Amino acid sequence: MAQVKLSDRLVMVHPVINIWTGKVSVRKDEMKFISADETPPDKLVQMGTKAIFPTEDLRRFNNLKQRTRRYLSSVGMPFVGGWLCPADLEDQIYDQLGAIKTAFHSEVDNLLQNYHLRLNEFLADQKNEVWRDKMASAIMTPAEVKRSLEFRFQLFSVQATGEGRSGKDFETQMVSLGEQLITDTVKEASDFYTANIVKCGKMHTKSKEVLVKIKEKLAGLAFMNPNAEHLIGLIDGALPFYGAEHTSKQLVSEDAFWQIMAPIMILSDRSKLERHLSGELKVEDVHQQIAPTVFADQPGEITEASWTSIGESAISDGHVTENPFQPVEPLQVESDSNPWATATDSFEPEIAPLAAAPSKANPEVFKDLHDRKANIC
């Protein structure tokens, strides 16, 4: 039985999306002999271009372009100007991109239907007659605008030109994409970790959707790397703790927060992930280390007091204290260094209040939280 190549299980998706910016280039002669009164506002002229149409009317096209990129990135991997996606998702891709294409063309029709009305309103809003005339001289016809707006896509198979060196090199490149899949997943998990734990200090039940999307992408491309199943297992270990309700207002419970955080800490850090894949680091071990460490005033939330009193107290110049919650002894002032000091003179630093303080701090989680928070603050 012939061995199935990775390229046989992938399809190349190549979208072509051209968007009219509503701007044209500024000619050199337009910038000559301009008086102070004729200087155009920044919203009209920027970096050698001038606006000839309200750009806010064109944002919908950029939104559809970004929607296309987000969808393809959720199921595939960028490759030579397109996306490599699982071949068995071909019908789904046609449906999804077809729907976006229909919406794009509908927006084109709406734009052209109101084109002259919006153009005249835009010109009428310009108080400077000199630049209003310059803009009016550069307007485009509806037919020209329509040609500047395009949405199409193609799906095709990927293969090398032959079975020789080019074929081997191509398959090697396909294999390297399997490693890229792991790298991309770690990055996506790290973004999740930063957004929900480091930056916000809380986790809403709606965040489950992000993990589900990461899992679905991994599942679709799991044939590219055998370790993908282990990464899926980490996500599967976190999902049940979200419960049934998934909203942007509902926070996960305190216990669920730590149950979710443990596998995500592994998935979002390459060194931890490698230790996990080798069997050295288990989710249960991480959970036992972090669960009693940081306390919150509300379920699913790390307060600023927790950050100050726990995260930063636990780490000093990269070293973790034995017990960061131990009160600092008053600093006695030596009389020979200060002749005016008395025996009772002392300095007692302020200690931020804690809602609840555990008796022991774990070095690994504090350093992880501290380092990641430092990178975004």
Condensed to tens digits (0 to 9), the pLDDT of residues 12-61 reads: 999 999 999 998 776 545 554 455 555 555 555 554 677 889 989 999 99
Residue 321 confidence (pLDDT) above 90: no
Q: Which of 189, 245, 187, 235 is nearest to 212 (CA)?
A: 235
126, 157, 188 - which closes a domain: 157
User: 226 with 136, same domain?
Assistant: no
User: 134 with 219, same domain?
Assistant: no
Find the domain containing 39 and state its range: 6-157
Is residue 190 one of the residues assigned to a domain?
yes
Q: Please give the model's pTM, rounded to 2 decimal places.
A: 0.69
Most confident of 134-143, 144-153, 188-197, 280-289: 144-153
Give pLDDT tens digits for 193-236.
Answer: 988 776 666 788 889 999 999 999 999 999 999 999 999 999 99
Q: Contact, 333 vs 347, CB < 8 A? A: yes
Q: Which pLDDT belongs to residue 166? A: 62
Q: Which of 222, 367, 219, 364 is nearest to 281 (CA)?
A: 364
Across the chain, the runs of DSSP E, i.e. the strands, are 10-18, 23-25, 45-46, 49-51, 77-79, 82-86, 150-157, 315-316, 319-320, 331-332, 346-347
Is residue 330 one of the residues assigned to a domain?
no
User: 135 with 223, same domain?
Assistant: no
Mean pLDDT on 224-250: 88
Residue 149 confidence (pLDDT) above 50: yes
Is residue 200 one of the residues assigned to a domain?
yes
Q: Contact, 53 vs 89, CB < 8 A? A: no
| Structure letter (DSSP) for residue 244 | S
Q: What average pLDDT is seen over the chain? A: 75
336 — pLDDT class (breaks 50, 70, 90): very low
- Please give the backbone phi and psi of residue 260, each rounded to the nearest 5 degrees, phi first: -80, -40
Residue 377 confidence (pLDDT) above 60: no
Whats the size of the chain, residue-wise? 377
User: 126 with 209, same domain?
Assistant: no
Half-sphere exposure of 216 (CA within 13 A, CB side): 12
How far is CA 104 from its chain centroid?
25
Is residue 97 one of the residues assigned to a domain?
yes
Give the range among 75-79, 106-110, 317-321 with minimum mean pLDDT: 317-321
Distance, CA of 363 to CA of 343 (rounded, Å)? 37
Q: Which pLDDT belongs to residue 136? A: 78
Residue 330 confidence (pLDDT) above 50: no
Q: Which pLDDT belongs to residue 161? A: 66
User: 14 with 96, same domain?
Assistant: yes
Is residue 121 one of the residues assigned to a domain?
yes
Is residue 348 one of the residues assigned to a domain?
no
Q: Contact, 72 vs 83, CB < 8 A? A: yes
Q: How many domains does the chain have?
A: 2
User: 116 with 205, same domain?
Assistant: no
Half-sphere exposure of 35 (CA within 13 A, CB side): 4
User: 226 with 367, same domain?
Assistant: yes
Is residue 344 one of the residues assigned to a domain?
no
Give the range among 222-231, 275-284, 347-356 with minimum mean pLDDT: 347-356
Q: pLDDT exceeding 90 applies to what percent of the chain?
A: 43
User: 187 with 301, same domain?
Assistant: yes
Residue 192 confidence (pLDDT) above 60: yes
Give pLDDT tens digits for 86-142.
Answer: 999 999 999 999 999 999 999 999 999 999 999 989 888 877 676 677 777 778 999
User: 152 with 182, same domain?
Assistant: no
